Amino acid sequence: MTELKTTVSEENTLSVKGYRLTKFVGEGAYAKVYLSEFTGKDDSKVTLACKIIETSKAPKDFVIKFLPREIEVLIRLNHPHLIHVHSIFQRKTKYYIFMRYGENGDLLGYILKNGCVSENQSRVWLRQLALGLQYLHELEIVHRDIKCENILLTANFNVKLSDFGFSRFCVDEEDEPILSETYCGSMSYAAPEILRGKPYQPKPTDLWSIGIVLFVMLNKSMPFDDTRMKKLYDQQMGKKYRFRSKVASVISLECKFVVKHLLEPDPGLRHTATQVLGSDWVAMDSRLTTLNAVEAAALQKAKEERKKLSDSHRVPPKRQGDILERDHKETNRVSEMIKSLANLTAKQNTRTD
């Protein structure tokens, strides 16, 4: 088990806010993830995941570009099929992101343990992912790292898309579209236009990735050979994927149609999230053809937010403080985070340049 190296004052900061780290879960290049417990003012307790990012160990590009984007996106999200952020705050060079804990692990772990996902269950989960993407894309946000490992399962076995480390807005301050140039995410889930290494429209790449997720759920294997990039690209462009015979014989034509249009190598012809939600495959379960109250409210809120997005998502920084606590104005928290990251980067430049 990895221990958290915190000072007494840092532990006190967490405690005052109601948080206690309980167990190490895993780590990436610049972050560690812990289970944590939050105690509310009424003494109620909830288990959360806590992602701790140590900016002093991260490259400047991450600190000044990707981390601000991730936090700016996270504080804007409020959708039942996207990970819910409880709070975000900063302590010196560390950023603490407390979020909903996936009680049943991630989708990859589920598939490895239980095998292929039935078509009926795949339909439910893909619809939830498509609703999450429809909401994100309405806000002009792209995820850019959708894969089975980033899809969490709740206690009730609903899915939540997580890990927004590569996410970004896809319009600029003038509301003009921005092409992506970064090679993002995992090669196995990357659309062919990403592999070409040229600027690309980012929204269709999210749809390609959920097409890969759908194929993996149904088939318990990747659709393309990803051992070499050129071979992967050639297979993608040639639509050379095949379901295993025992799977192909039982899944519906409507399901295969959705897979076909998500794994369409031409991004201009690839289906959108709205087209997936309106597909005959989703309609095969009449319960899935209408939004529940929470889903409908989230989409409506996104449409309203979209109207003012270009005016509100670039606010000049004012002061340092907590970045996100759900009782405060969230836009100011973005400003505080950007200023804090700029200050940290300036100090690191002074030490290293």
Enzyme catalytic residues: 145
**Rg (alpha carbons) of the chain, rounded to whole number:** 21
Q: Sort residue 119 into left (φ over 0), alpha (ψ -120 to 50) or beta.
A: alpha
Q: Please, what sign has the CA dihedral across residues 106, 141, 89, 46?
A: negative
* CA–CA distance, 249 with 256 (Å, rounded to integer): 11
Provide CB contacts within 8 A for 196, sequence distance 6+: 233
Phi, psi of 303, rounded to the nearest 5 degrees: -65, -40
Where is 123: in which H helix or E strand? helix 119-138
Q: Please, what sign has the CA dihedral across residues 295, 266, 184, 336?
A: negative
* CA–CA distance, 85 with 205 (Å, rounded to integer): 24
Residue-wise burial string across 99-121, b where 16 or more C-beta atoms lie within 10 A, e elsewhere: bbbbeeebbeebbeeeebbebee
Per the CB < 8 A criterion, the answer to whether 347 and 326 are in contact is: no
* Among 162, 147, 160, 128, residue whose Cα is nearest residue 31: 162
> How many angstroms from the chain centroid is the CA of residue 301?
19
* Among 203, 218, 217, residue whose Cα is nearest residue 248: 218
